[in-house]
Amino acid sequence: MTKVLIKETQNPTILKFEFEDFITQNESFEFKNIDEAKSSPLAQQLFYLPFVKTVYISGNFVAIEKFSIVEWKDVQNDIAEQIELFVNNGGTIITIQDNKTKKQPVTVYGESTPNPAALKFVVNKMLTKNAIEFKNIDETAASPLAKELFKFAFVKEVFIDENYISVTKYELNSWEEITLELRTFIKHYIENGGIVLDENFIPNEVKTDAAKEANFDSLDETSQKIINILEEYVKPAVAADGGNIAFDSFNETTRTVKVILQGACNGCPSSTFTLKSGIENMLKSMLNDEKINVEAV
């Protein structure tokens, strides 16, 4: 008996109806009207509801964007029941196409990082333009892959950026015991069309485009200079080690720069040395300010 969970998204007009298992492995679908939804009998049925604007089908969920004529609280339970009834009565979510894209071979290899608890799995294709970190399974709305990785008992945190996935483990297992299992899982997942990151559900503050530019423009001149230095000189180095560094704030009175360490950098034994001897000294020199000090949030 299929059950769906109702999940909110960053966009208040979009609601997700999540399944326990994947309902599509190879593609993400977006339907704007009933005529576009010929390959999805479920989406066609949903378009008979007058408030449905767009239907998204991806990974393990169906997401619906609504018109403003209704509130989600008034209709969401009825929609969930309708989807469950449709599927449990044998309804087809997506019609399999004969011309489906063939499975694309993917190469995945593991790289050690300065953090003994983190390993970097490098993929021979671009995964995302948005660096994003997941601390637990409840944060994985934007990443079906991260959600699946958290089902491994030894996975503590997941960080995804550009062409790699950085996994931080608990101490109960050694890398020798689990590296092959993780590498094989990630390889097969991506080869079979699994969704690594769904850009529709990445929080706006994480995205690299207009939201970040607007925030940058609102900052003081020193903060902007610090961000530019971090982006140009620091981020490439920490990315090579499976991590990321993000600007948090600058206190003009105390001259304190606060940064966020992500991925393999978070909890790394050498991170304090890197902050003080590397990044802090660089900022002092490039800003010509010996009072600058750097702290990790």
pLDDT in tens, 87-100: 999 998 988 654 44
* 88-92 contacts at long range (C-beta below 8 A, 24 or more positions apart): 88/1, 88/2, 91/41, 91/42, 91/45, 92/40, 92/41, 92/42
Question: How far apart are the C-alpha atoms of 225 and 234, rounded to whole Å?
Answer: 13
Place of tokens 């378009």: 47
Are 112 and 197 within 8 A, CB to CB?
no
Are 239 and 162 within 8 A, CB to CB?
yes
Whether the per-residue pLDDT at 209 is higher than 60: the answer is: no
Place of tokens 């001149």: 221
- 233-263: per-residue pLDDT in tens? 887 877 777 778 888 889 989 999 888 888 7
Q: What is the pTM of this model?
A: 0.56
Q: Which of 37-46, 89-98, 196-205 has the highest mean pLDDT?
A: 37-46
Calculate mean pLDDT across residues 148-156: 94
Whether the per-residue pLDDT at 210 is higher than 50: the answer is: no
Question: How far apart are the C-alpha atoms of 190 and 37, rounded to whole Å?
Answer: 26
pLDDT value of position 85: 94
Whether the per-residue pLDDT at 207 is higher than 60: the answer is: no
Whether the per-residue pLDDT at 71 is higher than 90: the answer is: yes
